[in-house]
Amino acid sequence: MPKLLLATTNPGKIREYRFLLRNLDYNIVTLKELGINQPPVETRNSYEENARIKAIAYAKLSQLVTLADDSGLEVDALNGEPGVRSARFAGEAASDAEKIKFLLTKLADVPWGKRTAHFKCVIVIATPEGELEICHGECHGIIAFEPKGKNGFGYDPVFYLPEINKTIAELPLEVKNQVSHRSRAAGKARKILQEFHSQHIDFLDNHI
Protein backbone atom coordinates (compact mmCIF):
# COMPACT_ATOMS: atom_id res chain seq x y z
CA MET A 1 0.00 0.00 0.00
CA PRO A 2 1.55 3.36 -1.01
CA LYS A 3 2.08 6.07 1.60
CA LEU A 4 0.40 9.48 1.56
CA LEU A 5 2.09 12.26 3.52
CA LEU A 6 -0.11 14.83 5.25
CA ALA A 7 2.02 17.98 5.23
CA THR A 8 0.74 19.54 8.43
CA THR A 9 1.58 19.53 12.13
CA ASN A 10 -1.88 20.79 13.14
CA PRO A 11 -3.54 18.02 15.21
CA GLY A 12 -7.03 19.20 14.23
CA LYS A 13 -6.25 19.04 10.52
CA ILE A 14 -4.60 15.63 10.86
CA ARG A 15 -7.68 14.27 12.64
CA GLU A 16 -10.00 15.67 9.97
CA TYR A 17 -7.94 14.48 7.02
CA ARG A 18 -7.65 10.97 8.44
CA PHE A 19 -11.45 10.95 8.60
CA LEU A 20 -11.97 12.59 5.18
CA LEU A 21 -9.50 10.30 3.42
CA ARG A 22 -10.48 7.09 5.19
CA ASN A 23 -10.91 3.93 3.14
CA LEU A 24 -8.47 5.06 0.48
CA ASP A 25 -5.78 2.55 -0.46
CA TYR A 26 -3.06 4.63 1.17
CA ASN A 27 -1.13 4.40 4.38
CA ILE A 28 -1.52 7.96 5.69
CA VAL A 29 1.57 9.27 7.50
CA THR A 30 2.43 12.60 9.11
CA LEU A 31 5.51 14.79 9.25
CA LYS A 32 6.03 13.86 12.90
CA GLU A 33 5.88 10.16 12.12
CA LEU A 34 8.59 10.61 9.48
CA GLY A 35 10.74 12.76 11.76
CA ILE A 36 10.42 15.82 9.51
CA ASN A 37 10.45 18.97 11.63
CA GLN A 38 11.53 21.81 9.33
CA PRO A 39 8.39 23.34 7.83
CA PRO A 40 8.68 25.63 4.79
CA VAL A 41 7.88 29.27 5.55
CA GLU A 42 4.43 30.27 4.29
CA THR A 43 5.12 33.77 3.04
CA ARG A 44 2.99 34.01 -0.09
CA ASN A 45 -0.18 36.04 -0.58
CA SER A 46 -2.54 33.27 -1.61
CA TYR A 47 -3.71 29.96 -0.19
CA GLU A 48 -2.71 28.16 -3.38
CA GLU A 49 0.85 29.47 -3.35
CA ASN A 50 1.36 28.55 0.30
CA ALA A 51 -0.08 25.05 -0.19
CA ARG A 52 2.02 24.59 -3.33
CA ILE A 53 5.23 25.49 -1.45
CA LYS A 54 4.53 22.89 1.22
CA ALA A 55 3.39 20.14 -1.11
CA ILE A 56 6.37 20.43 -3.45
CA ALA A 57 8.95 20.73 -0.67
CA TYR A 58 7.70 17.76 1.33
CA ALA A 59 7.11 15.56 -1.71
CA LYS A 60 10.76 16.05 -2.71
CA LEU A 61 12.01 15.58 0.84
CA SER A 62 9.97 12.46 1.60
CA GLN A 63 9.74 11.01 -1.93
CA LEU A 64 6.06 10.39 -1.20
CA VAL A 65 2.80 11.62 -2.68
CA THR A 66 2.08 14.62 -0.45
CA LEU A 67 -1.09 16.50 0.43
CA ALA A 68 -0.74 20.05 1.74
CA ASP A 69 -3.36 22.68 2.28
CA ASP A 70 -3.74 26.30 3.20
CA SER A 71 -6.99 27.71 4.47
CA GLY A 72 -8.38 30.81 6.06
CA LEU A 73 -11.36 32.82 7.18
CA GLU A 74 -12.50 35.80 5.12
CA VAL A 75 -14.87 38.25 6.80
CA ASP A 76 -16.77 40.62 4.52
CA ALA A 77 -16.96 43.45 7.08
CA LEU A 78 -13.15 43.30 7.40
CA ASN A 79 -12.58 43.46 3.64
CA GLY A 80 -11.62 39.80 3.51
CA GLU A 81 -9.41 39.71 6.58
CA PRO A 82 -7.85 37.73 8.15
CA GLY A 83 -7.50 35.66 4.95
CA VAL A 84 -4.09 34.04 4.45
CA ARG A 85 -3.07 35.58 7.79
CA SER A 86 -5.80 33.71 9.69
CA ALA A 87 -3.38 31.69 11.81
CA ARG A 88 -1.30 34.78 12.63
CA PHE A 89 -4.10 37.39 12.81
CA ALA A 90 -3.75 37.92 16.57
CA GLY A 91 0.00 37.30 16.65
CA GLU A 92 2.36 34.47 15.80
CA ALA A 93 1.91 32.61 19.09
CA ALA A 94 -1.78 33.37 19.69
CA SER A 95 -4.00 30.55 20.90
CA ASP A 96 -7.32 29.75 19.23
CA ALA A 97 -9.13 31.54 22.07
CA GLU A 98 -6.97 34.64 21.57
CA LYS A 99 -7.61 34.63 17.82
CA ILE A 100 -11.35 34.45 18.40
CA LYS A 101 -11.27 37.23 20.98
CA PHE A 102 -9.25 39.45 18.63
CA LEU A 103 -11.69 38.80 15.78
CA LEU A 104 -14.76 39.52 17.90
CA THR A 105 -13.19 42.76 19.14
CA LYS A 106 -12.74 43.87 15.53
CA LEU A 107 -16.39 43.08 14.86
CA ALA A 108 -17.76 44.55 18.10
CA ASP A 109 -19.87 47.22 16.37
CA VAL A 110 -20.88 45.16 13.33
CA PRO A 111 -24.57 44.09 13.30
CA TRP A 112 -25.68 40.52 12.59
CA GLY A 113 -26.68 41.15 9.00
CA LYS A 114 -23.20 42.37 8.10
CA ARG A 115 -21.17 39.64 9.79
CA THR A 116 -21.12 37.36 6.75
CA ALA A 117 -17.94 35.37 6.16
CA HIS A 118 -16.58 32.30 4.46
CA PHE A 119 -13.87 29.74 4.99
CA LYS A 120 -11.64 28.85 2.05
CA CYS A 121 -9.42 25.81 1.63
CA VAL A 122 -6.96 24.99 -1.14
CA ILE A 123 -5.42 21.52 -1.26
CA VAL A 124 -2.35 20.81 -3.38
CA ILE A 125 -1.31 17.23 -4.06
CA ALA A 126 2.26 16.78 -5.27
CA THR A 127 4.19 13.74 -6.41
CA PRO A 128 7.97 13.36 -6.07
CA GLU A 129 8.12 13.53 -9.88
CA GLY A 130 6.64 17.04 -9.85
CA GLU A 131 3.03 16.36 -10.80
CA LEU A 132 0.59 18.78 -9.13
CA GLU A 133 -3.17 18.75 -8.59
CA ILE A 134 -5.15 21.57 -6.96
CA CYS A 135 -8.55 21.36 -5.21
CA HIS A 136 -10.69 24.19 -3.82
CA GLY A 137 -13.45 24.29 -1.21
CA GLU A 138 -15.56 26.98 0.46
CA CYS A 139 -18.07 27.19 3.30
CA HIS A 140 -20.27 30.26 3.89
CA GLY A 141 -21.67 31.47 7.19
CA ILE A 142 -21.89 34.29 9.75
CA ILE A 143 -19.54 35.29 12.56
CA ALA A 144 -21.42 34.78 15.82
CA PHE A 145 -21.32 37.29 18.67
CA GLU A 146 -19.78 34.74 21.03
CA PRO A 147 -18.12 31.34 20.72
CA LYS A 148 -20.20 28.19 21.11
CA GLY A 149 -19.19 24.55 20.98
CA LYS A 150 -16.06 22.63 21.91
CA ASN A 151 -15.45 20.64 18.75
CA GLY A 152 -13.23 21.72 15.88
CA PHE A 153 -10.41 24.23 16.14
CA GLY A 154 -9.39 27.71 14.99
CA TYR A 155 -12.38 29.97 14.37
CA ASP A 156 -14.92 27.12 14.34
CA PRO A 157 -16.65 28.23 17.60
CA VAL A 158 -17.73 31.56 16.07
CA PHE A 159 -18.50 30.38 12.52
CA TYR A 160 -22.28 30.04 12.50
CA LEU A 161 -24.10 28.06 9.81
CA PRO A 162 -27.64 29.46 9.37
CA GLU A 163 -28.93 26.37 7.56
CA ILE A 164 -27.97 24.17 10.54
CA ASN A 165 -28.49 26.77 13.29
CA LYS A 166 -25.19 25.88 14.94
CA THR A 167 -21.57 26.93 14.88
CA ILE A 168 -19.12 24.52 13.28
CA ALA A 169 -17.71 23.78 16.75
CA GLU A 170 -21.13 22.51 17.85
CA LEU A 171 -21.16 19.84 15.15
CA PRO A 172 -19.90 16.27 15.51
CA LEU A 173 -16.89 15.56 13.29
CA GLU A 174 -18.91 13.46 10.88
CA VAL A 175 -21.37 16.32 10.30
CA LYS A 176 -18.65 18.98 10.02
CA ASN A 177 -16.97 16.82 7.44
CA GLN A 178 -20.05 16.95 5.26
CA VAL A 179 -20.28 20.75 5.10
CA SER A 180 -16.87 22.31 5.78
CA HIS A 181 -14.56 24.00 3.29
CA ARG A 182 -11.95 21.33 3.97
CA SER A 183 -14.39 18.50 3.33
CA ARG A 184 -15.40 19.99 -0.02
CA ALA A 185 -11.80 20.32 -1.15
CA ALA A 186 -10.96 16.87 0.23
CA GLY A 187 -13.82 15.28 -1.69
CA LYS A 188 -12.13 16.39 -4.90
CA ALA A 189 -8.73 15.28 -3.57
CA ARG A 190 -10.07 11.77 -2.90
CA LYS A 191 -10.85 11.29 -6.58
CA ILE A 192 -7.37 12.46 -7.61
CA LEU A 193 -5.69 10.19 -5.07
CA GLN A 194 -7.75 7.24 -6.31
CA GLU A 195 -6.55 7.99 -9.84
CA PHE A 196 -2.93 8.18 -8.63
CA HIS A 197 -3.37 4.82 -6.92
CA SER A 198 -4.83 3.23 -10.05
CA GLN A 199 -1.89 4.53 -12.08
CA HIS A 200 0.50 3.11 -9.49
CA ILE A 201 -1.15 -0.33 -9.68
CA ASP A 202 -1.12 -0.26 -13.49
CA PHE A 203 2.58 0.61 -13.44
CA LEU A 204 3.38 -2.29 -11.12
CA ASP A 205 1.27 -4.71 -13.18
CA ASN A 206 3.17 -3.73 -16.33
CA HIS A 207 6.60 -4.15 -14.71
CA ILE A 208 6.23 -7.47 -12.93
Catalytic residue list contains 70: yes
Of these residues, 70, 76, 96, 205, which one is catalytic?
70
Neighbours of 87 (CB within 10 A): 18
Sign of CA dihedral 100, 178, 7, 70: negative
Cβ–Cβ under 8 Å, residues 26 and 2: yes
Letter string b/e over residues 19-52, b meaning 16 or more CB atoms within 10 A of that residue's CB: ebbeebebebebbeeeebeeeeebeeeebbebbb
Residues annotated as catalytic are 70
